[in-house]
Structure 1
Amino acid sequence: MGQDRFKILLLDSGKEWGGGTNSMLELLKRIDRDKFEISCCFYNDYARDNGETIGQILNSLNVPVFFIPQAKQPTWAKISKEVLRTLFFFSSNLRQKAIYAVDKIWRINPNIRKIHSLLELGQFDILYMNNQPSSNVEGYYSTDGLPTQIVQHCRIEPVLSRDVVRIVNKFCHSIISVSQGVQEQLLRRGVRKELCFTVFNGIDINQPLPDGKNIRETLGTTEETFIFGSIGSLINRKAHQFTLLALDKFNRTFPEAKWKMVFVGEGPNLRKLIQQASTLNILDKVVFTGFQHNALEYLAAFDTFILGSKSEGLPRVVLESMLLKTPVIGSNVTGTAELVKNTETGMLFEYGDIEMLFNHMKTLYLNEHLRNEIALQANSVVRERFAIEKYVSGVETVLSSVNKQQG
């Protein structure tokens, strides 16, 4: 105990529960506690839709957690940014730099000082950051003058400015990408190659799997009902509006078909999506369940799972669909495209292409043999390549490569 272990402070600056949160928790459940001593630092004690907070979960895992309360943006900062947006209307680059300068005064610098103090007092070997680099700028600066080294886990396709790339190249020891596509984005933006490692997300392939029968009964469907489904936050990035438009076309093409579309999840776009479904006259066939603890049961009940996102990292929900033998229709974006090979392990469509999405819906609805073939191939891939043990081992290997502080 103690001296031989790496002391790690995990920093998460996020505001809401997402797939990256789940992946982080799966890591914390399984990481070798004899080798890694982990504490967490969060900006927000955010909660699942059932009210369970991240702090409660971490306490149940016996992981110490610190919270850095975030100040509300002062009036002077808000006014200053509006003025700067007007002054630098001709240059997005200058606008971004000017707004960053304001944010640095009231938000970033105080966070740097607080994180620095935690690192110094705890004598941490590693600052392990759980968001993309642009969300962790203060974390990078907080290690200045300390022997603490930085490992960044990039869980989604990153948004990188030149300044952020410069910061990463200066301070980072290693940056973990959840998919090859995420790593390619980092390299394309100028992150040094020797910093980059890909560790694919993983899931527990040995967990008990539901059959979905109870959910189908709850939804009032019969064996003949074809269920399209989606699981995830009802936010712009998930692009559920395109799914509804494709379903409208499906409904008009197959007016006698028995089908339902089930959206599992909460989010700010709920009212807008209900209104859209009503306008399209398909609301009677669309179900919004809200947050569900038993999301896997819903996934098992679907005949086809749809993920039309604008961006992803390596979506766990697609891995779960593959494990449950539920065929996936996914947008051709980073991460998803590494899991879904068209007509082999799923169906791919170009983001926002409603006609292509509709055609894939139609194909899987009409072709049970293809659905079964896709399901079997996808299940084989996830079992061979994406077991949770490989994910944990990969992260442990990167963390172990850090030079521990001396003295």
Structure 2
Amino acid sequence: MNILFINSARTWGGTEKWVRMAAESLSVSHKVSLVYRRAVVGDKIAVHKYRLPCISHFDLYSLAKLVEIIKKDKIDILIPTKRKDYVLAGLAARICGITNILRLGIVRELKIPIVHKLIYSTMADGIIVNAEKIKQSLLKSRFMQQANIKVIYNGLDTDRIDQQSVSAIEKPFPFIISALGTLTHRKGFDFLIRSFNRFLKNVPDADAGLFIIGDGPKKDKLIALSETFGIRSRVIFLGFLQNPYPYLAASDVFAMTSTNEGISNALLEAMYLSNASISTRSGGSEEVITDGENGLLVDYGDEERLAEIIGRLYVDRQLTATIARKACQDGIRKFSLQKMKDELSSFGTEIQNRKPTKGNAEVPR
């Protein structure tokens, strides 16, 4: 099977990490290629690659080159991963008569029926989502078909994490909370900083700090917020890290405070690295965390509750260790990379075999 992933992102994030895991794992059994826009993405993914501008949904140059690549490499399946890519892939797939399977990793309401039916149904043969909640959100639109949407949970690349987390870092505080992601409003870092400030007021002698790993447009405002609260020395902005795993491994608690997610790669990785994890009830987090067992859940914006949870974990280290241990066990069991690869391959076969113009050969595992 010849598979072509498309990712036009300008920065590295969770979707791009998923593309790397999916493309590299599938390349063991299939011929896999990638179309990308920026080197920050393409340079990190070890498969055959093509760089295209992908500057808009209707970039005719990129569309023409994409059709050329499909024909030259005899591509069977396209897997576009960003909204802009969905249109280009849908057009190219229809021109070439091949299969188009979208990948969506966030809850998205389809509010423009004519446009969204064209993109998510007419031009898409299938959709991969990483949380049941995303699937149910899509199915609220009458034109979506359940059989065309497959929930495939993100896998954990445990070999990569193990290799890259061995370098120990010196902890600046005995108790560390970490958070990772692009510094945008959706990721909720302001909510986390406000709640951390409340925790410090509730437990004034707490010897605790907060790692914020990532970069983005809200960085200056977040720094200013920590300064306003007088906690700048406790909130450590680490910026974007090529390898965040030593910092996650050194953390005691991981906080995922987004307004909207699918299933966060960073959350799964932190759980695997034995963090007691806290998450907002956003997207698929409740499919990962059983509240009070392998993590703790909080409603977005409830600063008092989040501060209380942090305080509880700070005071009761036995509880923190118990939750962290269960989180690691569940991550290994439920979110294996091999399982993700097998399910991607199987769904590709299923969708491919529905198309009357294509052969019915089984996809090799």
Q: Same fold (TM over 0.5)?
A: yes
Give a deviation string over 1:179-223, Cα, whole Å, max 9, x none: 1111111212342111011111010345537888932x2x433xx
For residues 15 and 32 of structure 1, what CA distance do their matches in structure 2 show?
Answer: 24
Deviation at 1:150, TM superposition (A): 0.8
Query: Structure 1 counterpart of 2:82, which letter?
Result: N
The residue that corresponds to 1:147 in the other structure is: 97
Deviation at 1:350, TM superposition (A): 0.8
SS in 1 for 2:320: helix
- Partners of 1:125 and 1:147 within 8 A in 2: no
Aligned residues: 351
For residues 153 and 382 of structure 1, what CA distance do their matches in structure 2 show?
Answer: 22
Gaps in structure 1 of 5+ consecutive residues: 1-5, 48-53, 72-102
Give a deviation string over 1:48-94, Cα, whole Å, max 9, x none: xxxxxx33334xx3x322222255xxxxxxxxxxxxxxxxxxxxxxx
Q: 1:228 to 1:56 in 2, by over 3 A?
A: closer
The alignment status of 1:300 with 2:240, answered yes or no, reads: no
For residues 96 and 168 of structure 2, what CA distance do their matches in structure 1 show?
Answer: 55
Q: 1:135 to 1:355 in 2, by over 3 A?
A: farther
- Partners of 1:232 and 1:266 within 8 A in 2: yes
Q: How do 1:277-316 and structure 2 match up within 5 A?
A: 277-316=226-265
The residue that corresponds to 2:52 in the other structure is: 68
- Partners of 2:199 and 2:307 within 8 A in 1: yes
Q: 1:155 to 1:244 in 2, by over 3 A?
A: same
Give a deviation string over 1:148-207, Cα, whole Å, max 9, x none: 111112122234231213432223222111111111112123421110111110103455
Aligned mate of 2:31, from 9, 31, 37: 37
Aligned mate of 1:17, from 5, 12, 15: 12
Gaps in structure 2 of 5+ consecutive residues: 360-365
Deviation at 1:29, TM superposition (A): 2.1
The residue that corresponds to 2:363 in the other structure is: none
Query: Structure 2 counterpart of 1:45, which letter?
Result: R
The residue that corresponds to 1:28 in the other structure is: 23
Identity over aligned pairs, percent: 24
The residue that corresponds to 1:178 in the other structure is: 130
For residues 38 and 383 of structure 1, what CA distance do their matches in structure 2 show?
Answer: 26
The alignment status of 1:131 with 2:118, answered yes or no, reads: no
SS in 2 for 1:144: helix
Query: Structure 1 counterpart of 2:156, which letter?
Result: I
- Partners of 2:157 and 2:336 within 8 A in 1: yes
Q: 1:70 to 1:171 in 2, by over 3 A?
A: closer
- Partners of 1:322 and 1:382 within 8 A in 2: yes
SS in 1 for 2:10: coil
Q: How do 1:74-89 and structure 2 match up within 5 A?
A: none
Q: 1:248 to 1:210 in 2, by over 3 A?
A: same
- Partners of 1:157 and 1:185 within 8 A in 2: yes
Give a deviation string over 1:333-391, Cα, whole Å, max 9, x none: 11222112211111111112211211211121122222122112212211211111101
The alignment status of 1:208 with 2:162, answered yes or no, reads: yes
The alignment status of 1:194 with 2:147, answered yes or no, reads: yes
For residues 167 and 27 of structure 2, what CA distance do their matches in structure 1 show?
Answer: 37
For residues 57 and 270 of structure 1, what CA distance do their matches in structure 2 show?
Answer: 24
